[in-house]
Structure 1
């Protein structure tokens, strides 16, 4: 009998109820009691969705902010006596560092052991009243994703932590638990594997059925997971490059249940449920198989209802609820019930969106399209002569606050209730206000504010052929922050200028340089659902050519600085480093296609978000930009360590203001980050800026914070 199990269903809600509730509490519009009741109701809706399609699912997946942080609280790494203390650690003055969850666009809060007396204890019973399939992130993943652990103590700490997990299981009387251990798919050392085996021995003495789930890639030694004292093992059979499936042929099941992740939880393309059923049938000859999804479903929108997609595309895609239905359909096919399944797969192989002229441009790329003829050392002299910027130039990353009025007017225009002409007049007014504010604050390089842009990827998706937007396909990124990933379904083409009009207008209002703001090909791919019928490198080159054409039009309009945001450059890298060269080859080349044919005096900037940069500095340098801005505020400038190991000869802006928090840092709080950086980076190469765009902040926070940034730059110039 084919059983089904779904996990990771979105907490956000179809109408982003999660965001409304949490932010309502932050704004003082909801009491704690009202917030808790609202979250409980939202979770009930999630569980009702599970029940419609699958036989079982985890309990306790819901969080107020982040599940890894919740797990750290449960086991006493942090303590929060109240909800306000909880949120202070998420987004307040004492906020934890944030980084990407494996190679996804979800951000988690990083547990930090620096200065801590490591003594695990049961600090919070999140699972009170839950008996079956209690959801937890596993002990190895919790420690592996933490930072500043005492040197040489990992094995000892993991063993102690596992003992606390055991205590937690017994205290709650769990019949079964769901342990997410995605860190098992990393390239583990022999020592780490032995540490896991030693720690998991703790679980031999408990009757609780422990099911361990791995996802996002293959486990290099899958047998060791089956050898652990667990009842079931979840494996990813979608993103494993065939490696998990190959290993399963030689695995000794040891009587363990196999949770076969055959439905893609990270991309929207419909499953061929008949092919998936064949995999399940074959595996069932050897294993007790449960059909499940590969990776957390919260990487997908809730469901297709109300999605604004072409009919041909609707017949090819599935969101989270439809993915649960696919689990049911696969089970149906295994049982011999095929009618609904045949209807489901009817349109998945029909091609559309082919543009031969675009494919021809990619085929015709030569070395000159990847390499600038003028080296950086010569370019920077031309740029300095043209721009005449002071030491420690100040700028922001791109966007300014998307106020309620901006969002309201944009929505009216989308609905056809405000003419394009009136909308354009409104946007020009907002741009003019932003230029005036920047003039008054004394910034050196301006931005136009991006008031016309809903999202840094979605905006370009709306302007490019071959990419569809979803309308209400919201996905969580961090905390309450959500975005709508577009769907790249065909060949990508720019048929007219996308952003030139607004940038040129902004530049006409000031003598200061205004940056042209573009999103790079890697980030557009990473934060979209990318087609899988052609190599991703070809998709990247198609997008890069569109951006190259936009830059050429910027130059015709007199724009002197262009920023190509590649926030997802590190994020998109494969989890296993042995696969990095293949990825970074096309990722670097696609960025270079964007700007290789631009004028040497046009200064090319890039921006990258929260990620571990130290291991990829050489790849970053290969992008051949002139200036890069990256996060340094939450990590307190730890990124500087990466620059101590290479000859980083470009200009750099380290973010000194964490824009993901409403807290406004003082000059005194920002200066140590810069001072630390200047021990490694020459002052002539250093910019001062926030760590990301200001779209989610309020003007009341932005203006004083930017004023402090400008003051900081002036003080640095006086001290230089």
Structure 2
């Protein structure tokens, strides 16, 4: 039997981020709904044509989403929170209302929560469940897209998120309610969906169950068996897993009535012969051999040898990407300015499809000559002249335990910092960034293209910083920021100012909704070149008597939000970045910047999926943060910021960071996260987000007063900071000014009620 190739999903943003711009134009009422839908169709059409051109045997259908694929699943299942219904028909506006908290008629409603998709930087809208949840197959996007795709290929593989993972990823406000008790309600809807797809003369369906890579209880394993026994139909089911090994859950796999199983050979450790022995020979085994999460070329000869040997044991073999390609940029051929040596090592989504064709064709013809030429650059990569920096390696070898510890305990630091800063009770601040206007983006673009002289560019940036300080002083915030007008992205900006990175022009990856990021590529050892932020922060501080925060992105976040090297460990890369950031922090301190925020929103994201691996990761991740900040004076106040993650998994690690102040996302979780911090007895200061910056809704003064009062019941007012939940770069100045004005005035009113 021939080796079949396929992918688990394709990027949905468009080759020039067409979806992002169309969404934002629609929200601003610049284009109609029909125009938005047409742009979505054109993206899908181009994606399918590319997949066919690259030699894929199946077209992936169902991987396109208007915001995120978990929210698409909620819509498909009719699982729509009651507050978004309003007796109106369910349509695209409903989907955006759930995600953004604002309806087409601008009626504000608090949006559903958002969190990270497993250990990636992709976000999803969290499904909401209750005892009264009902489900209906009312959003039939999947069926429409099957009809569209049939024009381009007869072999179509629809993709849906499986019922077990969908329920796992959601939440209920009632802690006593087990959302898996909803299976008898939700499974008939899934069966109806499968039946509807089967009527389209589709033979295979991909059902994603990524939670199989987690440590599952015996109870959940039984529910897996129950679910798939219920879902057995005419459709052939490819049960898809990724992000890690599922060998620990193989006790149920062979009992589940499926026709194929996909495993991730990039992030999972497998013995294929043992897998073959455990699986029925009737089941197709799909091997994820092309990395869907990184951008380096695949060692196709390695996988040719592995699979060619495995063919002796098993006849039904497919090959595919390790996971969906939504985590990588679209097309390397768009990049005209990349270092050609580095470019020769890379493979984006389009090229990864071609890699699959090359590998399957070579396996089917038993000829690997084309593979040898494809991977030739990988064989010579060790000669890349800048890959190792001896000075950095020597510095790392001289690190001692004292480099990881602050000089004094938090309580001592707290008293010294209070005397230095004289901050009021419930100090107000923001997370760092201010609105990135079209004018500002154009200014940076002109400078990057060398249309604008450096001196004139800096003068204009200083002018914006001055205005930012003026606005904050007029609002009477207590700790100010310079607003980050010089930064395109919180990771890319620092990477551009360190040695060890290369950059793309079109390497965009979706983070959520219309939010896209362009991760830098770590190509060689990382080192500090010159000061990065000092001139901007020093100027801002010269304009005010109030403290201005130095703003840095932490080492773990820079690592995880970049595409890392694969020839050395992530731990070593994180240490290199930490050493570089430590130099920058020294420079800030020398220039009398005494409050420094080092953001680590990605700390939780890097957590391994298996429990036994978590401690090892957290040890080196926490140490990387501490290496960057711990050498400062007691009077230097270190802040860190984290958002959109499950803190209960990493609370010990957060304490071990020993930041003087941590700011978190709390606005969408209705104080749930803050209760957790209280129950855990978090010892240092905390700033829960009181303003959901991902929604255009403007909180009223009364909203803030209620939230602050609730917070004081959970956290001592002496340790409580008042701030938005994240940076304000995505909001308009009108929204920001009004919201911050309400936040500051509400804080002042609550202060009057507090006893010092």
Aligned residues: 717
Q: Structure 2: any 5+ residue segments left out of the alignment?
A: 102-108, 148-155
CA distance in 1, matches of 2:509, 2:190: 30
2:124 corresponds to: 108
1:637 positional shift: 1.4
2:728 corresponds to: 694
1:119 corresponds to: 134
Say if 2:531 and 2:587, in contact at 8 Å, map to a contact too. yes
Which piece of structure 1 moves more, 22-31 or 309-318? 309-318
CA distance in 1, matches of 2:331, 2:542: 44
Counterpart pick for 1:311 among 317, 321, 340: 340
Which piece of structure 1 moves more, 146-155 or 31-40? 146-155
1:265 corresponds to: 292
Counterpart pick for 1:90 among 81, 86, 99: 99
1:292 corresponds to: 320
2:665 corresponds to: 631
2:275 corresponds to: 248
SS of residue matched to 2:67 = coil
Which piece of structure 1 moves more, 50-59 or 126-135? 126-135
1:327 corresponds to: 356
1:337 positional shift: 3.6
Which digits, 9 at most, give the CA deviation of each residue in 1:221-264, with x for residues without a partner? 23522431111111101001x14647515322351111110110
SS of residue matched to 2:376 = coil
CA distance in 2, matches of 1:405, 1:552: 33
Pairs within 5 Å for 1:126-275: 126-129=141-144, 130=146, 132-148=156-172, 151=176, 153-172=178-197, 173-174=199-200, 175=202, 176-204=204-232, 206-219=233-246, 220-222=248-250, 224-240=252-268, 242-243=269-270, 245=272, 247-275=274-302
CA distance in 2, matches of 1:149, 1:163: 24
CA distance in 2, matches of 1:38, 1:598: 52
1:185 positional shift: 1.1
2:539 corresponds to: 505
1:17 corresponds to: 18
1:336 corresponds to: 366
Which digits, 9 at most, give the CA deviation of each residue in 1:96-146, with x for residues without a partner? 1000000000000001124x6122222222222527422211101110000
Which digits, 9 at most, give the CA deviation of each residue in 1:159-203, with x for residues without a partner? 432222111221342533211111111110010000010111112
CA separation of 1:62 and 1:684: change in aligned 2, threshold 3 A? same
1:208 positional shift: 1.1
Pairs within 5 Å for 1:397-412: 397-412=431-446
1:368 corresponds to: 402
CA separation of 1:244 and 1:124: change in aligned 2, threshold 3 A? farther
SS of residue matched to 2:171 = coil
CA distance in 2, matches of 1:52, 1:222: 36
1:573 positional shift: 0.7
Say if 1:237 and 1:245, in contact at 8 Å, map to a contact too. no
The CA RMSD measured in Å over matched residues stands at 1.6
Say if 1:274 and 1:333, in contact at 8 Å, map to a contact too. no
CA distance in 2, matches of 1:534, 1:64: 37
CA distance in 2, matches of 1:72, 1:576: 27
- Give the TM-score taking structure 2 as reference length: 0.93
Say if 2:407 and 2:633, in contact at 8 Å, map to a contact too. no
Say if 2:331 and 2:349, in contact at 8 Å, map to a contact too. yes
Which digits, 9 at most, give the CA deviation of each residue in 1:11-62, with x for residues without a partner? 1112101101111111111111111111101110011111122111321221
Matched, 1:718 2:737: no
Say if 2:709 and 2:750, in contact at 8 Å, map to a contact too. no
Matched, 1:44 2:45: yes
2:507 corresponds to: 473
Say if 1:5 and 1:291, in contact at 8 Å, map to a contact too. yes
2:69 corresponds to: 67
2:565 corresponds to: 531
Pairs within 5 Å for 1:494-573: 494-573=528-607
Q: Structure 1: any 5+ residue segments left out of the alignment?
A: none
CA distance in 2, matches of 1:153, 1:426: 56
CA distance in 2, matches of 1:292, 1:215: 11
Say if 1:226 and 1:233, in contact at 8 Å, map to a contact too. no
1:345 corresponds to: 375
